[in-house]
Chains A and B, each alone.
Chain A
Amino acid sequence: MQTSQQGQQGQQKPDTETAAPVGRRAALSGGWPFGTRSAALTAGDWPRTTKVLFFLSLLILPLLAVQAVRMGLEVVHRLDGLSTAATDNMQWVLSQAEVEHLKLQSETLLVEEPADLANVRRQFDLYYSRINTFVEGPLFADMRDSDRGGKVLRRLQARRATLVELIDVPDAQLMQNRAEILAQLEDNGDEVRELALLGVSMQVKGAEGKRLNLFALLSRMAFVVVALVAALAITALLLGGMYRRGRDLARERSKALSRMEAMISSSLDAILVVDREGTILAFNGAAETIFGYSRDEAIGASMERLIIPPHLRAAHRVGMDRYWQTSEPRLVGNGRVQLEGLRKSGEVFPVEVSLSVSRSQADLVVVSYIRDISDRIAAEEALRRARDDALAGEQAKANLLTVMSHEMRTPLTGILGAVDLLHLTDPDEEQLRYLNAMQVSGELLLNHVNDILQLSSLEAGVASEEASAFDLRQILDGLIESQKAAASNRGNQLTLNYHIKDGDYVVGRMRALQQALLNLIGNAIKFTNDGRITVEVEHSASPGQIAFHVSDTGAGIAEQDQKRIFEDFITLDASFGRGSEGTGLGLAITRRIVDSLGGTITCESELGEGSLFTLTLPLTLEAKQTPEHAQDRPALEHSARILVVEDNDINRELLQKMLQNQGHQVTAAAGGAQAVESCRIQQFDLVLMDISMPEVDGIEAIHRIRAGQLAEGVEIVALTAHTGPEDHARILAAGFAEVATKPISGPDLAALVVRRAKGAPALITSAPQATNADPASGQSDITEFFETLGPERALGFLQSFIAEVAQFITEIQAGTELQPAQRKEAHRLAGSAAVLGLAELRSALSDIEMLPTDAPLACAALASNWQRVKPLLEAHLIQPAHTA
């Protein structure tokens, strides 16, 4: 009973176990429509389904196996039960009852004497015990409980009770009861038989039940085994599929790998793969070439020690540590970075590095792409050097031009002065012709030199003039007047058509405008013979602008040249420049001037017909200032208060005189310190200051004045013999309004005052205007010097100057080392030479002044120069012809 109960439990258990996977499967399929079903439609999701199936079968297989084993055990147990059933030999017991019954019958029949009765009694006991077994034993419970069995057993028990009464009696009576006993046994025989038969049928029924039970169990087991085999088959199929897939993947992967290998090995950049510890994991062919290590040497080595130059190692370590700790890259993933690498030979070379981090699960590697850029860097360096050289060359050229022009201008001035003087010596006609030729050529040369000088100063960005109000009509009239002679020389007519009615005063940069127009008019004259040159002035179409048209009836310019004429040195072109003199810089300078004025210049021309140049400049009309107003003013009322700062006595006196002649109130200061003091005491309208002065020089003086706010609103103009653009820039940067070059002529000085003096009227005295007509006349500075100071005073200065220079040269030639006093004297004499326009002498004296203390004295340049200049000066002494 107990075992069968266990069996029932065993059957129930599998049901609950199989329920679990079914439930789980349901849960999974419930999730599909939203999660992966759509994805499962694509071929790529095939493995996912497989995976699910695989895990399901993995889950089910053990369950099936357990179930199969359990059932197998049960079958074994049942079979065992058949061989050792708890039933005992029921049939034996039942049939034995009949046997005992028959034995009892025969014993009873065999009784002949009372001694035989013991056998009957014993046999009855045995029979009795048999029946007892049926009544008592649990084996026979089914039989007892069955309808037929119960009835038979009850009858047998009743008869046995009757037999007990017949047998358990004394022997004598038992002998008599024999017949009765036999009769009873006769009746009893059928019952015992029936009992035995009943046992057989029951046994058969029981056995059949067991058989059916076993059959059912075996069927179930067969089912489980079939399921197990099916599950195994599915698993095998899946495994096969997975194997195939794995093989395909492996093949794909090896293909990709070999492609990757090819890419890496053919890369021109070095590719290094490095792990977290900095150990090199991969090293391609390019890396071998670049760094000089073989792959075997590199792999497994520390990258830091191998390819990072020692001075970068610490930084590298810090960088990597920081990256591993914070994951914040500075180099990693930031594109290309320039660093330095180390070759096996120990050479450090520039590299371009790009790093990226590859993460696969817990594994982290850094992939470095390294390019050797030493060639590129070298090329860049060469290029830069070439450019710097070219720039320096340009600069040197500009400097050379400036210096050259300056050095050329001074002797040229001397020549022209001498020619002037020769004119006064009553030359005969032939001599006069030569003199004129000399003068014309000399002036032309001077023009060229001035052109170049102006170009270079424009190039250096120096456009020092500031806008001021001036009478446009007057300027133009003067300009036309000054060029009339040149025009008529070539048989040209020069006319001005002035169409501006509403006032003549405009605000702008007068000198620049003058220069530009002069260049255009000069060009027109140059390229026109026996023709007409017209200057037209009118309002431009756009407001606030005035257009200047300069037209001629000359040779004209071919169309293809029209664009080029504003470029530098363009006269080299035959069609344009041949037969005409000039540096070819005129139009280039004009263009630059116009540019700096914010205007435009255009050219229209036809070959053989003539040219038309149009300037359009922003010039605003100033209606307030009327000419009448200006004329009403007495000359003295316009006089300005001017401070002249100049350490050179002659120069100072010259300037003072010139300014006084022009009607101004002049205060003189002999040095920078004195100038500062003067400004402190007195108000000026203008300050003219020498730059090169001992102790406090011009630059220092202006700093002090500006710092002390001693001359607010007052402009300070620099006077210098230096004409290089760099000097100009330096001087203007110090705060000077403009730079005037020594020696300065009377008209220039007058214009300067008009331009710069505070509250000065724009009235130009008429007297100097006449002499101003030809700005490049080459008039000797000495002449002006005499005019200004008066012959006696000038002669006195000149005499002492000649004596002083001569003595200075003698002293220098005698001495070996420059004394401080001599240095001072050199400076003073240089200043005087500048006043007299003796630039070469000034330069020679300045050289001596600037000599280093321990340098050997060399006055060869000074002496030779003096030999040339001295006769010129002495000529002035004997020819007091300058008396106006």
Chain B
Amino acid sequence: MKRWKMLFSFSFLCGLLGLLATGDTGMARAETQPGQEPVLLTVTQEGGDAPLLRLSLQDLQGFDVESFTTATIWTTGPQEFTGVPLVDILARLQQEQGLKTTSIKARAVNDYMVEVPVSDAVEGGAMIAFQRNGKLMSLRDKGPLWVVYPYDSDAAYRSEAVYSRSVWQLDRLIVEATPQ
């Protein structure tokens, strides 16, 4: 019985992976404003093109920057990540636009997109890193932005789901937000 259940879970997992792979269609481009700091992260409302936030490296560095050290399954050895907690981004959104975020989708440069639950946006939760081991990250080095979690701090963060939310080469957050 267990064996059947296991096989079922396994095939379900495979199907999910296949769906994610085929769902990778549209390609977005990082928008650069001439004469200005290049925008690294754009936050847009779901269904609307008007950006809610446009954040350059400088803007991001203007946040209360945090950092933690953790191992990842993609790198060798402990890595020190520095960046802005996701919760702070949402807080900024609420602060400036009066919007309360109810869902988040993260999209990478190569149009990989995944939903990040709002519940991940907590203290000690998901962070948008712009530095790894004290250095800015290039596109070739999974930069410039990488959604990371403190995997070592909690076994719950060492799950398939969290790994899939760890989007590297992040360039856009698409949120559903309602005015308060």
Q: Which residues of A contact B (CB under 8 A)?
A: 75, 79, 82-89, 91-92, 95-96, 99-100, 103, 122, 125-126, 128-129, 132-133, 136-139, 207, 211, 214-215, 218
Q: Which residues of B contact A82 (CB under 8 A)?
A: 6, 9-10, 13
Sort A-B residue pairs by CB-CB distance and give the 5 closest, nearest first. Answer: A84-B159, A125-B139, A128-B140, A137-B74, A84-B160
Q: Could you tell me the dominant secondary structure of chain A's interface residues?
A: helix
CB-based contact A126/B75 at 8 Å:
no
CB-based contact A129/B139 at 8 Å:
yes
A786 to B76, CA, bound (A): 171
Given contacts A126-B110, A139-B73, A139-B74, contact A88 B160 (CB under 8 A): yes
Given contacts A84-B161, A91-B17, contact A214 B169 (CB under 8 A): no
Q: Which residues of B contact A129 (CB under 8 A)?
A: 139-142, 168-169
Given contacts A79-B2, A83-B160, A138-B76, 13 further A-B contacts (CB under 8 A): A79-B5, A79-B6, A82-B9, A82-B10, A84-B158, A86-B163, A89-B20, A89-B160, A122-B109, A136-B75, A136-B76, A214-B6, A218-B2
- Picked from A92, A125, A128, the residue with its CB within 8 Å of the CB of B17 is A92
A91 to B73, CA, bound (A): 14
**Closest Cβ of chain A: how far from B168's Cβ, in Å?**
7
Question: Interface readout for B128-142 with A: 1 if CB under 8 Å, 0 if not?
Answer: 000000000011111
Chain B 1-51 interface residues, beta-carbon cutoff 8 Å to A: 2-3, 5-6, 9-10, 13, 17, 20-21, 24
A125 to B110, CA, bound (A): 10
A126 to B139, CA, bound (A): 7
- Picked from B20, B73, B139, B168, the residue with its CB within 8 Å of the CB of A92 is B20
Find the A residue at minimum CB distance from B142.
A129
CB-based contact B160/A85 at 8 Å:
yes
Q: Which of B20, B73, B158 has the most CB of A within 10 A?
A: B73
CB-based contact A125/B74 at 8 Å:
no
For residue B164, CB closer than 8 A to chain A, the reply is: yes
CB-based contact A122/B139 at 8 Å:
yes
Q: Which residues of B contact A89 (CB under 8 A)?
A: 17, 20, 160, 163-164
**Closest Cβ of chain B: how far from A3's Cβ, in Å?**
9
Find the A residue at minimum CB distance from B75.
A136
A138 to B76, CA, bound (A): 6
Q: Which residues of B contact A86 (CB under 8 A)?
A: 73, 158, 160, 163
**Closest Cβ of chain B: how far from A221's Cβ, in Å?**
9
Q: Which residues of B contact A126 (CB under 8 A)?
A: 109-110, 139, 169
- Picked from B20, B75, B140, the residue with its CB within 8 Å of the CB of A125 is B140
Q: Which residues of B contact A136 (CB under 8 A)?
A: 74-76
CB-based contact A137/B75 at 8 Å:
yes
A92 to B74, CA, bound (A): 13
A75 to B6, CA, bound (A): 10
CB-based contact A88/B142 at 8 Å:
no
Q: Which residues of A contact B159 (CB under 8 A)?
A: 84
Q: Which residues of B contact A75 (CB under 8 A)?
A: 2
**Closest Cβ of chain B: how far from A83's Cβ, in Å?**
5
Q: Which residues of B contact A91 (CB under 8 A)?
A: 17
**Closest Cβ of chain A: how far from B60's Cβ, in Å?**
20
A808 to B41, CA, bound (A): 176
Chain B 105-162 interface residues, beta-carbon cutoff 8 Å to A: 109-110, 138-142, 158-161
CB-based contact A88/B163 at 8 Å:
yes
Q: Which residues of B contact A87 (CB under 8 A)?
A: 73, 160
CB-based contact B73/A83 at 8 Å:
no
A132 to B6, CA, bound (A): 33
A86 to B161, CA, bound (A): 10
Q: Which residues of B contact A103 (CB under 8 A)?
A: 110
